[in-house]
Amino acid sequence: MSSDNLFAALRAAFPADLDATAIEVADGEAPLSYSWRDLERATAMLANLLESLELPAGSRVAVQTEKSVEALMLYLAVLRAGFVYLPLNTAYQAAEIEYFIGNAEPAVVVCAPKNFGWVSKLAFKAGTRHVFTLGDDRSGSLLERASHQGDQHVPAVRGADDLAAILYTSGTTGRSKGAMLTHGNMLSNARTLKAYWGWQPGDVLVHALPIFHVHGLFVAIHGALLNGSKMIWLAKFDPKRVLAALPRATVFMGVPTLYVRLLAEPGLTRAACSGMRLFVAGSAPLLPETFNAWRERTGQAILERYGMSETVMLTSNPYDPADGERRAGTVGFPLPRVQLRVRDEGRDCPRGEIGGIEVKGPNVFAGYWRLPEKTKEEFTDDGWFKTGDVGRIDERGYVCIVGRSKDLIISGGYNVYPAEIEGYINDMPGVAESAVVGVPHPDFGEAVVAVVVPRAGAQLEGAAIAAALKAQIANFKVPKLVELVQELPRNTMGKVQKNLLRERHKGLFATG
Ligand code: MCA
Ligand code: AMP
């Protein structure tokens, strides 16, 4: 029977020589490498373990572990066995994890050994039957249990419309929603990018991103695997180690913060990058000054692209010069098979005019997990997905993102939803109300800032509010500054004027 299982397609691209190196770990004390055969065998054993649990079809496998090659193998094994992968940011704390597990009801949860106590308690409470551990040093019950399994496994037959992964994101409003991505969404996008970015024999990818979001998990990993390409693997981004790896590599992908930090390294030179074919940036706006500084230092133009958890990749600056130059401040053209339009008040905007970005294509997700009404709201009647991004198409057809209609801050490539942080602050004793905004930051692109109004007579301190938040939520969401004020600026409708707060604080982290 024919199958659209994403793993099977990736597996089919493994090189003939299975003993060649697939992954070289470049940040451990001792060099460590994994062959294609290791990937094949370990994913088979893990898939057999999952199958031995006799899980219902469509079961979710939620994973919060440190980045490791074994964690990647687990992702591939979940695809291979035909279950649904649910990656979770390692920075999430108990309240965040409780929400995701409660909402997704995973049959299996895999966590770091040090978190087993609290994670298993939350998981068992939510009805999860199996909780395994996986450490970044190959420790834990998952690999121990898998070691007793056979190393042969036939990938489960899955159709293009079958679910492969759920990624939690807040969409345009409200609480975090699970974006359901199918095998077909991801495979079609991976194939499009393979062709558009000219993946070729001999390519080697430096992988330095986290593997719980679209950029590191899908764009980078699917790209390398679908090309049978070796990865040089860094569990944590370290600019010096990336630079040391570049002479053995051809492709690098990063959020803008990674490029800013690499630019701060004197070792970033034309010579260091001379073997590199492609630098890709995305997940947040790449400032033209970063694009220009990079070109000056390395002689190479970063290729900026744009995507979302709900859609994987949507647009890309051209790879092939015959298709045009890479233009700073733009995210390029809609990818082949992706349709994109800019709309305002129910009509298509002429070139140059600003409106909401809407998209269609085989890459667009299957909807929000158990939220058919919300899903409907985020699509137009004629089937276009409303991205919540605001932009225009310039005279040459390049898409430019000029803002967001969704209240979202992107800090160092991570999304922060102001309403969530405001909720935590407003629940604190002595707080009357608060407003959270993003302001320019030289390292993170945007930084989270909270403006808080105390209740009459309450004695509050900004630093204490930040410390209390740090104990509750992922550290990257914690405001870099908490300002106390007597009142928030409001318009005549009573709505908080966040633009005024952003304006007031825009120079807060300015350098020079
Ligand atoms: C770390 N910190 C941050 C961030 N990261 N603060 C704000 N924003 C951040 N992104 C703070 C921590 O809270 C901590 O502060 C201090 O920095 C050190 O933490 P550490 O973990 O050591 O930081 P780091 O290793 O320097 O991390 C910075 C980073 C990381 C490497 C830029 O944030 C990162 O890997 N970002 C990539 C995110 C990503 O992959 N996004 C793709 C999403 P304290 O000590 O005070 O607690 S996919 C997507 O958006 C779409 C679909 C797309 O188009 O790709
Ligand atoms: P996520 O919810 O993590 O999927 O984040 C998706 C959002 O990231 C998009 O809706 C955009 O707002 C933003 N984004 C991704 N790539 C870019 C880019 N190259 N430039 C500007 N914004 C981007």
* Centre of ligand 2 from the C-alpha of residue 444, in Å: 14
Q: Whose CA is nearest to atom 46 of ligand 1?
A: 475
Q: How far apart are CA 378 and CA 364, in angstroms?
A: 12
What are the helix (H) ranges across 407-474? 418-426, 462-470
Q: Select from 167, 177, 211, 283 the residue to mutate for testing ligand 2; criterion: most ligand atoms less than 8 Å from CB.
A: 283
* pLDDT of res. 30: 83
* pLDDT of res. 372: 97
* pLDDT of res. 511: 78
Angle (nearest 5°) at CA 362 between 400 and 380: 65
* Centre of ligand 2 from the C-alpha of residue 171, in Å: 11
Q: Which two tokens stand for residue 305?
A: 């692209």
CB 62 within 8 A of CB 100: yes
* pLDDT of res. 463: 97
Helix (H, G, I), strand (E, B) or coil at 209: coil
pTM (predicted TM-score): 0.97
* pLDDT of res. 29: 81
Looking from the CA of residue 261, the nearest atom of ligand 1 is: 32
Hey, how many other C-beta atoms are within 10 angstroms of the C-beta on 312?
A: 29
**What is the Cα gyration radius of the chain?**
23
* pLDDT of res. 171: 67
Looking from the CA of residue 308, the nearest atom of ligand 2 is: 4
* Centre of ligand 2 from the C-alpha of residue 388, in Å: 10
Q: Which two tokens stand for residue 86?
A: 């649910």
325 burial level (CB within 10 Å; 0-12, 13-18, 19+): exposed
Helix/strand/coil (H/E/C) assignment for every residue in 356-424? EEEEECCCCCCCECCCHHHHHHCECCCCCEEEEEEEEECCCCCEEEEEECCCCEEECCEEECHHHHHHH
Strand 278-281, strand 303-308: pairing: parallel
CB 291 within 8 A of CB 301: yes
What does the DSSP 8-state code read for residue 490? B
Q: How far apart are CA 184 and CA 161, in angstroms?
A: 6
Q: How far apart are CA 242 and CA 163, in angstroms?
A: 34
Q: How far apart are CA 383 and CA 379, in angstroms?
A: 6
* Centre of ligand 1 from the C-alpha of residue 380, in Å: 33
Looking from the CA of residue 387, the nearest atom of ligand 2 is: 10
Does residue 476 have its Cβ closer than 6 Å to ligand 1?
yes
CB 305 within 8 A of CB 278: no
* pLDDT of res. 510: 87
Q: Which uninterrupted H or E stretch holds 193?
A: helix 183-196
* Centre of ligand 2 from the C-alpha of residue 404, in Å: 9
Q: How far apart are CA 355 and CA 331, in angstroms?
A: 16
Helix (H, G, I), strand (E, B) or coil at 451: strand
* pLDDT of res. 512: 60
Distances (CA, A) of 127 to 80, 81, 88, 369, 466: 24, 21, 18, 18, 33
Residues in the chain with pLDDT values less than 50: none
Q: How far apart are CA 495 and CA 449, in angstroms?
A: 18
Angle between helices 116-125 and 94-104 (to 10 degrees): 30
Q: Whose CA is nearest to atom 10 of ligand 2?
A: 308
Query: Hey, what domains does the chain have and what are their CATH numbers?
Result: 6-298 (3.40.50.12780), 327-403 (2.30.38.10), 409-505 (3.30.300.30)
What does the DSSP 8-state code read for residue 226? H
Q: Select from 89, 252, 257, 263 the residue to mutate for testing ligand 1; criterion: most ligand atoms less than 8 Å from CB.
A: 257
Helix (H, G, I), strand (E, B) or coil at 426: helix
Does residue 169 have its Cβ closer than 6 Å to ligand 1?
no
Distances (CA, A) of 29 to 234, 246, 286, 483: 12, 19, 33, 43
Q: How many residues does the chain have?
A: 512
Looking from the CA of residue 414, the nearest atom of ligand 2 is: 3
* Centre of ligand 1 from the C-alpha of residue 412, in Å: 5
Ligand 2 — pocket residues by CB below 6 A?
Answer: 169, 214, 282-285, 304, 306-309, 331, 387-389, 401, 404, 410, 415
Does residue 213 have its Cβ closer than 6 Å to ligand 1?
yes
* Centre of ligand 1 from the C-alpha of residue 187, in Å: 27
Q: Whose CA is nearest to atom 5 of ligand 2?
A: 308
Helix (H, G, I), strand (E, B) or coil at 179: strand
Does residue 307 have its Cβ closer than 6 Å to ligand 1?
yes
Distance separating the N- and C-terminal Cα atoms of the chain? 63
Q: Pick the closest to residue 302 from 321, 278, 320 (CA basis).
A: 278
* Centre of ligand 1 from the C-alpha of residue 415, in Å: 10
Angle (nearest 5°) at CA 122 between 117 and 126: 145
* Centre of ligand 2 from the C-alpha of residue 60, in Å: 25
* Centre of ligand 2 from the C-alpha of residue 223, in Å: 19
